[in-house]
Structure 1
């Protein structure tokens, strides 16, 4: 790992963690303000990520977003996300569940080709299908300082700088 990469990641983390609190921001929807960014519930069939079918639903969702840059047509090209987020992942066969604290701070670069690059400090939930990433098929809680590249075809590449990868499927199966 290069010292520049670590220092860049630490600078990113510091800037994300010192971002203006949502309560002090301009009104939602204003150019300088933060706006709600709700997380949708989802269902995944058995074998797609975990061996059992799973249901994921936010139980705490205070995530907000702020558009940092736009393309000439007005679509966002860089967006910051932050806020408390706890997602309940439930094995729908057994009822076993795990509440994942996924409230990390992220800056997402939305590229014109449909790909994305996430610069993350803290925990985020990541689902990976078979042959869809450099992690095995699964549902993961990533925590630390890292980047995540999501190709236009959905392939996910995790670049962990410092942190942990927690297998959520193992917690509920």
Structure 2
């Protein structure tokens, strides 16, 4: 965790009206653990009009917990490392490889709302019927701050970079 990333996360969180727990350089000394993205399929009608298959091709990610809730669940967590994914349209077979290597810092409230600061490239799915952002499988490149609710609603609170909708790319 760089001081710059922590300052950015704190600034973004403040705009959303949340106060982050105190985490400092000593928290960054906590041990990184391997993290692996599992392959999955988003069924037609959830995010896109077709099944979207998501298959990791290269995965060298890691994570560490910086703060926990009283029940032991992560409150603040970091993710970092290389991730390359093949996205495939299950209807027509078209596929693309996307490098979604990035840094992410995640703050999770006690009621399960996740605020994620992304720096680099990342993939985020937005469900059909989302009230604030059109549905799609977005590949983001830049700096983003995203809120995700337990009901699967996603809101892009800060967007500083480009976004590709793979539902359009693979249609």
Asked if 2 retains the 8 angstrom alpha-carbon contact of 1:13 and 1:145, the reply is no
Q: Distance in 2 between matches of 1:161 and 1:93?
A: 31
Distance 1:133 1:109, change over 3 A: farther
Distance 1:166 1:133, change over 3 A: farther
Q: Distance in 2 between matches of 1:161 and 1:171?
A: 20
> Which of 6, 12, 37 is the matching residue for 2:5?
12
SS state at 1:11 partner: helix
Greater strand content: 2
Pairwise mapping of residues 144-159 of structure 1 onto structure 2 (< 5 A)? 144-159=142-157
Aligned length: 150
Pairwise mapping of residues 16-165 of structure 1 onto structure 2 (< 5 A)? 32-165=30-163
Q: Distance in 2 between matches of 1:99 and 1:128?
A: 19
Asked if 2 retains the 8 angstrom alpha-carbon contact of 1:13 and 1:120, the reply is no
Kindly provide the CA deviation profile for residues 93-115 of structure 1, in whole angstroms up to 9, marking residues without a partner as x: 22210112111100000111011
Asked if 1 retains the 8 angstrom alpha-carbon contact of 2:48 and 2:128, the reply is no
SS state at 2:38 partner: coil
Q: Distance in 2 between matches of 1:117 and 1:68?
A: 15
TM-score by length of 2: 0.80
SS state at 1:83 partner: strand
State the Cα distance separating 1:11 from its structure 2 match.
Answer: 2.4
Match for residue 167 of structure 1? Answer: 165
State the Cα distance separating 1:161 from its structure 2 match.
Answer: 3.9
Asked if 2 retains the 8 angstrom alpha-carbon contact of 1:88 and 1:97, the reply is yes
Q: Distance in 2 between matches of 1:12 and 1:63?
A: 18
Match for residue 18 of structure 2? Answer: none
State the Cα distance separating 1:74 from its structure 2 match.
Answer: 2.3
SS state at 1:165 partner: strand
Unaligned runs of 5+ in 1: 1-9, 17-30
Distance 1:116 1:84, change over 3 A: same
TM-score by length of 1: 0.79
Shift >6 Å, 4+ stretches: 13-16
